[in-house]
Structure 1
């Protein structure tokens, strides 16, 4: 409501304390919402990827975006494009599921571009850069054309050797 004070974190930065639904949309104060990943948590790259994948698979890409965004903000500079690209792909998928196709197309394309410049950081953490860039580009093109794309979540990492069936995003 206009004129009401904004929620703030301990450092005084604006942070919404409102609960959110599975797609990250704010709900009224006091409503039951989806559990949120704690913000600013430093995870290992493996923990980040595993938690984000679990959230994507559960149909909660907005929450996966928050986990990936923590890695983007707290990780080393040489990994910034990796985490930014993954976070943008997750929020692009969020927009697909919310029905915002123009926003989805923009973020999916931007995420694929960022991930395409991730360099050795992606390989170091087993991220399927080629598959994710192709997935983001394909989904972005379909969304840009105004058709609802298949919202199946991508696989973030390459499978262990010998599991060729799952080498491409679903």
Structure 2
């Protein structure tokens, strides 16, 4: 089967007509520990919810545009507890995703032990198009891959919905 080219994020989310779901399963993703947003967060910087212009970015524009077309965008994160420092960083910034219109939930990894999960993080668009997110051992992006295999889409949809049903909405989840 020939591999499909990986669409850009605007193309991928632009193709969604009903739903776009994202499952994240890593406790850390590669970041520059010496500079950038994670390092700034480690140094004590926190986004001010009232100062939207200081944290709004192109990704959030894309999410807001997608949601404004009636597409439901949901993100679920499976996390180890106590959470990693990187997960704390994600948690502190998740209000920006919510402000853009994403629904976000958190599931402690111990509650996911009996769920059949794909081996990689993914986006599932309209229950049929899977965009795999591949990572290296140290968490750097190793690129994406697209699949329209119905069995793969079904696995991802079932895994996501099971995680979603068990997970705690962002507003109620308390990190440990």
**Higher strand proportion, which one?**
2
TM-score calculated relative to the size of structure 2: 0.26
What is the TM-score of this pair, normalised by structure 1?
A: 0.26
Higher RCO, 1 vs 2 (CA within 8 Å, ≥6 residues apart): 2
Higher relative helix content = 1
